[in-house]
C-alpha cells in the first residue's frame, strides 16, 4: 500500500479505534469476572484533574471523526457524550467507524497543502496545512487518548498488554 | 510538505522525541521544586508489572531509531540502557535525534513496499511491508511509550498538559 493522506488517516484511525474496542472488551471482561461495577472502570482516571476512561474514548472517537471530516471537507456526525457503560462506549466506536467508512478516499487524498482550521481550547482556532494537521495534531491526539484508555485499565490491574494495543483482537486470535 | 515515508517517519519521530524531552524537563523541575528524589519519578510505573518511566524513554528512543534504521537499511547505534537520571535520559534522546538526522531522506522514501523484518518478543520475528511497518508498528509504539511517560508523570502530580505532549517547548513559549 502506498503512503497517502487517506491510507494514513483512514488506516490509522480504523486500526486504533478497533484496537481500542478490543481493549475495552478486555476491561469489561475483567470487571465481570471480578464482580466489579464496570462504571468504576469507565469512570476512573489517573489524576483527579484528568479525564476518566469514558471521556478518553469519546475524545479518541471525536479526534478521528472530526479530523477526517475537516481534511475531507465533509460534515461529521455529532454525538452527545452521554456514554457511561462499556456497551455505550462500544456503540460510539461503531458509529465513528461507520462514519470513517463513508468518507471517500478521493476526498482525503491530495489534501497535504489544504489549509485546515480547527478549534484549540474553548475559544481559539488554528490553521495548519492538511499534512501538518494530520501528522502533528490528529494522529498524536488519537494515539494519546487510546493509550490513556489503555493506561487507566492497566493501572486498575486489567491484563492488557502492548499486543492488545498494537494488534487488537488479532493479538488473542 | 508532501506526505512521504521520510516526512512521516522522520517528522513524527523528531517531534515526539523533542516533546518527550520537554515533558521530562517539566518532570525534573517538579522534582527539584519539591525536593523529591528525581529517581523516584524516573523509577515509577503505573502497575507493578509495567516498565518504569526511564524504560519508557529508552524504548521510545529505540523504536524511533531501530524503526528508521530498518526502513532505510542502515545500522542503528546501540545504547546500553543504563540511564536512570533525567540528565541521562535527555542525553539518550539527544543521541537518538542525532542518529535520525544522519539518515538521508532519499534512503527512506520509496520504501512503502520494501519487506522489513523486525524482532517481536524474545525469539520471534515478523516481516511487513515498509508502510505497514511504519504505520502499524513503529509509530503506534513510539506514541505509546511517549504517552506512557507522560501518564506516569501526570499520575505523580506533575503539571504536564496535552499541549506539552502535542507541541513540546513551544506550548510554554
Residues of chain B with Cβ-Cβ distance to A162 below 8 Å are 141, 144
Residues 6 or more apart whose Cβ sits within 8 Å of residue A170: none
Cell numbers linked to A152:
487507566
Number of Cα atoms under 13 Å in the Cβ half of residue B34: 15
Check pLDDT > 90 for residue B82.
Answer: yes
Q: Whose grid coordinates read 496545512?
A: A129
Strand B115-120 relative to strand B124-129, pairing? antiparallel
Check pLDDT > 90 for residue A67.
Answer: yes
* A to B CB pairs, distance under 8 Å: 104
Residues of chain B with Cβ-Cβ distance to A8 below 8 Å are 3, 8, 135
Q: How far apart are CA B161 and CA B166, in angstroms?
A: 9
Q: How far apart are CA A145 and CA A63, in angstroms?
A: 9
Mutate to test the interface with A, among B1, B2, B3 (most CBs of A within 10 A): B3
pLDDT at B1: 85
Residues of chain B with Cβ-Cβ distance to A47 below 8 Å are 154-155, 157
| Reported confidence tier of residue A160, pLDDT bands at 50, 70, 90 | very high
pLDDT digits (tens, 9 = 90+) for A120-158: 988 999 999 999 999 999 999 999 999 999 999 999 999
Cell numbers linked to A111:
489534501
Nearest 5°: the CA angle B59, A169, A94 is 110
Asked if A113 and A129 count as a contact pair (C-beta separation under 8 A), the reply is yes
Shortest alpha-carbon distance between residue B47 and chain A (Å): 5
Check pLDDT > 90 for residue B121.
Answer: no
Beta bridge partners of B124: B120
Write the ipTM. Answer: 0.97
Mean pLDDT along residues A43-57: 98
Amino acid at each position: 500500500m502506498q503512503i497517502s493522506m487517506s491510507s494514513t488517516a483512514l488506516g490509522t484511525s480504523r486500526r486504533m479505534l478497533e484496537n481500542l474496542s478490543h481493549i475495552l472488551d478486555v476491561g469489561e471482561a475483567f470487571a465481570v469476572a471480578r464482580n466489579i461495577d464496570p462504571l468504576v472502570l469507565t469512570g476512573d482516571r489517573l489524576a483527579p484533574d484528568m479525564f476518566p476512561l469514558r471521556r478518553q474514548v469519546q475524545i479518541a472517537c471525536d479526534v478521528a471523526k472530526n479530523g477526517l471530516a475537516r481534511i475531507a471537507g465533509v460534515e461529521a456526525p455529532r454525538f452527545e457524550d452521554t456514554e457511561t457503560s462499556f456497551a455505550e462506549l462500544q456503540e460510539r466506536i461503531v458509529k465513528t467507524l461507520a462514519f470513517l467508512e463513508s468518507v471517500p478516499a478521493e476526498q482525503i487524498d491530495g489534501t497535504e497543502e489544504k489549509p485546515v482550521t480547527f478549534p484549540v481550547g474553548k475559544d481559539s482556532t488554528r490553521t495548519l496545512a492538511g499534512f501538518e494537521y494530520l501528522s502533528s495534531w490528529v494522529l498524536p491526539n488519537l494515539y494519546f487518548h487510546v493509550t490513556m484508555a489503555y493506561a487507566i485499565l492497566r493501572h486498575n490491574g486489567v491484563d492488557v498488554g502492548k499486543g492488545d494495543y498494537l494488534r487488537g483482537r488479532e493479538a488473542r486470535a
